[in-house]
Structure 1
Amino acid sequence: MGLKVYIVEDNPVIRENLVDTLQELADAETVGVAATEKEGVNWLTSHLPEWDLAIVDLFLQQGTGLGVVEACKDRPDDKKVVVFSNYATNDVRDRCVQMGVDKFFDKSREIDALIDYCIEISEQ
């Protein structure tokens, strides 16, 4: 497996489908998952060598994906953070970019673009 992915997503169906899709289409290994902001922040900040890409939803069981993004703002350049959310307004996209996300993907329309991005960064 090439790319090591950590997923912060509270919907178990979406999470499981994403894990399977990333493994099958992008040769990515999911190294962990979280359903809350606290779980995501704690794992991502204390396991830096263990992940390459964090995929973060904005709405979580507790807290928000914005808190996860904020906690990762000082990450090394080789660690990528993307938001994968249904709440893809221009204002939200802009806010996420200002907070330091590498990319923003709309769950309902941009799963292929997310997969392509995963393949692209795994080849770097």
Structure 2
Amino acid sequence: MKLRTFFVEDNATIRENLVETLLELTDVQPVGYAETEAEGKAWLTDPHNAWDLAIVDLFLRQGSGLGVVAACQQRQPHQRVVVLSNYATLDVRQRCKELGVDAIFDKSNEIDALLDYFMEMQ
């Protein structure tokens, strides 16, 4: 089963490289992306949009990924939210856990761990 994945990432190069890597190495089906907090919250909370996984960056062109994560607290039990950020400090990790994030990965050195997480989900 393909994981319907939505990306909240404002850097087009990072987003495209991430999607390309995940398509090559995992069983994902990209269903869309957002570059701002408002776009991400609107898409992920719309009951007409089907998704299994959201990958959220914390620093966006407008707003914060933390706002996106907070908006997803009432998601369906099968839906997971993952934070992928260059700012995965201990404080940020704790705040993400408080908001119900399923996992958090550092962009700079935990991409392999993210791929392992995908493999576990499938």
- TM over 0.5: same fold? yes
Read off the aligned partner of 1:64 and give its amino acid letter. S
1:53 aligns with 2:56: no
Taking the aligned partners of 1:111 and 1:105, their CA distance within structure 2 comes to 7
1:85-117 CA-partner distances (Å, limit 9, x unpaired)? 000110110110011000000000011111111
Aligned runs of 1:1-124 on 2, under 5 Å? 2-47=2-47, 50-121=50-121, 123=122
State the Cα deviation string for residues 59-99 of structure 1 (Å, max 9, x = none).
00000000000000111110000100000110110110011
Alignment-mate amino acid for residue 22 of structure 1: L
SS class of match (1:7): strand
TM-score by length of 2: 0.96
Amino acid aligned to 2:55: I
How far did 1:6 drift? 0.3
Unaligned stretches of 5+ residues in structure 2: none
Per the TM alignment, residue 3 of structure 1 is displaced from its structure 2 partner at its CA by: 0.8
Runs of 4+ in 1 over 2 A off after TM superposition: none
Q: Secondary structure at the match of 1:50?
A: coil
- Overall identity of the aligned pairs, in %: 61
After superposition, the CA RMSD in angstroms is 1.2
Q: 1:67 to 1:48 in 2, by over 3 A?
A: farther
SS of alignment partner, residue 70 of structure 2: helix
